[in-house]
Amino acid sequence: ETGVTQTPRHLVMGMTNKKSLKCEQHLGHNAMYWYKQSAKKPLELMFVYNFKEQTENNSVPSRFSPECPNSSHLFLHLHTLQPEDSALYLCASSQEGGQFEGYTFGSGTRLTVV
């Protein structure tokens, strides 16, 4: 596996369900990010992890709970979501320190809340 891998690719869940999104990066990066991409809206940065420590939470509702057990893995735990949470959730990684080379993105998880 190379790059940034996200699973599952598609997820349909009810509003009372609990599910998790997984992201794994094989690039040796030390920072990871969750973005939300909704139709007709800009990419929204949700969470930033730097060396496994959360460094940013952009006023994300508590029904989204991130977890970063190590620099290679990032999870987004979901519970009691709302239909407006339906979106493409993108994970990205980057290398902190030195020249900023930008982010490497995964292919995303398409989430539908019913």
Partner 1 sequence: AQSVTQPDIHITVSEGASLELRCNYSYGATPYLFWYVQSPGQGLQLLLKYFSGDTLVQGIKGFEAEFKRSQSSFNLRKPSVHWSDAAEYFCAVGWGGATNKLIFGTGTLLAVQP
User: Which residues contact partner 1 by CB under 8 A?
Assistant: 4, 6, 31, 41-43, 45, 48, 50, 55-56, 88, 90, 92, 94, 96, 99-108, 110
| H or E element in which residue 67 lies | strand 64-70
Least distance in angstroms from the C-beta of 53 to partner 1:
10
Q: What is the Cα–Cα distance from 43 to 29, expressed in whole angstroms?
A: 21
Q: CB-wise, 10 or 16, nearer to partner 1?
A: 10
Least distance in angstroms from the C-beta of 56 to partner 1:
7
Q: CB-wise, 2 or 99, nearer to partner 1?
A: 99
Q: CB-wise, 72 or 104, nearer to partner 1?
A: 104
Question: 65-73, long-range: CB within 8 Å, 24+ apart, which pairs?
Answer: 66/34, 68/32, 71/29, 71/30, 71/32, 72/24, 72/25, 72/26, 73/22, 73/23, 73/24
